[in-house]
Amino acid sequence: MKRVNAVIALLIACSFILSSCGPPEQPAAPLEITSAAPILTDTPIPSDTPTPLPTDTPTALPTDTPTLVPTDTPLPTDTPTITPTPGPFSFNDDFTTNSGGWEDCELCSWENEALLMGPFLPSSNFHKNYCTGCGVHTYYEVSVDGTFIDGQVDRFFGVFVGDAKGKQYYFGISPWQFYIIGQHTDDGDSWEILDFQWSGTVNGSYATNHFKITIKPAYQPNTADYLFSLNDSIIYIIYGIPVGPSRVGLAMDWHAVTVSYDNWQYVEIEP
């Protein structure tokens, strides 16, 4: 019996030795990846971003809206009429037609948008045409254009001012380029010559001349300075003489002359 047990133990030991030796080693087969699992990297796995919880927005409590109490609407009143501020008087005439602003003149006519005067008969040394549209004022400025048309060239034509108490100041020229400034007195048809000379300021022959006389307040009350201008040049001044309301107009010295006047302007000067 002991021999049988020894044989069995020997057989078991040989089987262990044979299993440990086994067949020769085969080369390892290549590793196949048959799984579709992702390749892991070092990228960190994102974590869930916490969503902020909404906060309560405070709701403004309504305030009491004041109740508007209607007021009495004033009744409309009458709109006052605007009265223009009185200004200096003026009278302009371009002589296109008879404006009615001139005293009746039997030897006057309106032709070619101008006023023609003359020729007068030798019945007087001074022929006047009053500007009734200008009225009567103390201080003023008057101007007009005058052009010789026909007649004697040694006669004078122009404008007069300051016609008061039968006297007036006259400013006239002739086609020969002379001018005269004088005071004429109706009583006796007499003259006082203040200035009389030849001047290149006068446009000779048939050329047009621009007359202007200004009567403006002087330093002393109730006196005036008289400025006589021709073609925008002052040629004579009378200073500080007594003055009063007076009339103005067009005038011609002597006779046998035809003259055209245009662009009459008269403006009152307020003291």
Domains in the chain: boundaries: 90-268
Looking at residue 64, its pLDDT comes to: 60
pLDDT at position 10 is 52
Mean pLDDT to the nearest integer, 6-34: 47
Residue 6 has pLDDT above 60, yes or no: no
Residue in 262, 214, 219, 212 with CA at minimum distance from that of residue 240: 219
Report whether pLDDT(127) > 70. yes
Average pLDDT of the residues in 8-12: 52
Asked if pLDDT for residue 34 goes beyond 50, the answer is no
In terms of C-beta density within 10 A (0-12 exposed, 13-18 middle, 19 or more buried), how is residue 256 classed?
middle
What tens digit of pLDDT does each residue of 168-216 get?
A: 999 999 999 999 999 999 888 888 999 999 999 999 999 999 999 999 9
CATH architecture observed for domain 90-268: Sandwich (2.60)
The pLDDT of 260-265, averaged and rounded, is 98
Q: With beta carbons less than 8 A apart as the criterion, state whether 197 and 179 touch.
A: yes
Is 232 or 13 the better-scoring residue by pLDDT? 232
pLDDT digits (tens, 9 = 90+) for 229-242: 999 999 999 999 99
Ranges of beta strands (E only) in 101-177 are 108-111, 114-117, 126-130, 140-151, 156-164, 167-173
Do residues 226 and 109 make contact, with C-beta atoms less than 8 angstroms apart? Answer: no
Contact between 260 and 176 (Cβ < 8 Å): no
Q: Tell me how far apart the alpha carbons of residues 124 and 121 are, in angstroms, rounded to a whole number.
A: 8
How many other CB atoms are found less than 10 A from the CB of residue 120?
20
pLDDT exceeds cutoff 80 at 26: no
What pLDDT score does 33 carry? 42
**183 bridge partner residues:** 169, 192
DSSP state of 246: B
Residue 102 pLDDT: 94
